[in-house]
Amino acid sequence: MAQTLLYRGGRYTNYLNMIQNGFDLSKISSNYGSTLGPGIYLSKSPAEAAGYAADKHTIIEVPVEGLKTYKLDRAYSVDSSKQRRKLRKIIEEAKTQNYNSLESVDGLETVIWPEFANLIHWDCADIVKYQNKQ
């Protein structure tokens, strides 16, 4: 099965906790991370992840096994109940087609749905320093 490396920004202590214990699923949609619906938010872009890092450089790189991502063809506003309903329908349909995650239209966010959290190998993750090469 194919493996994909994804990234997440946050605090160093959280990275250590994720490597030791996995992602705390009770945190899903608790204060943030609901733009694309409930799930575990990661990115294909180390630069995007670094934007969420406490120090803007230290991120976690985590392998994901068997990622099958449904790519959105447009942005949806979480401020619009009509658009939230539409997004929920898209997610339901994507799941019936055996997708396990959703990718934003710009490709910067990937949300892995909670029932597929076992695809993320936190125990094999690395904490890395991202250096912007601009």
Residue 69 lies in a domain: yes
- Global pTM reads 0.92
Q: How many domains does the chain have?
A: 1
Range 19-24, long-range pairs (CB < 8 A, 24+ positions)? 19/60, 19/122, 19/123, 19/125, 19/127, 21/122, 22/117, 22/120, 22/122, 22/123, 23/117, 23/120, 23/122
Residue 14 lies in a domain: yes
Query: 19: domain CATH number?
Result: 3.90.228.10
- pLDDT in 10s for each residue of the chain, 134 residues: 789 999 999 999 999 999 999 999 988 876 555 788 889 999 999 999 999 999 999 999 999 999 999 999 999 887 888 998 999 999 999 999 999 999 999 999 999 999 999 999 999 999 999 987 65
Residue 106 lies in a domain: yes
Residue 84 lies in a domain: yes
Residue 134 lies in a domain: no
Residue 40 lies in a domain: yes
Per the structure, the complete domain to which residue 107 belongs is given by 3-129
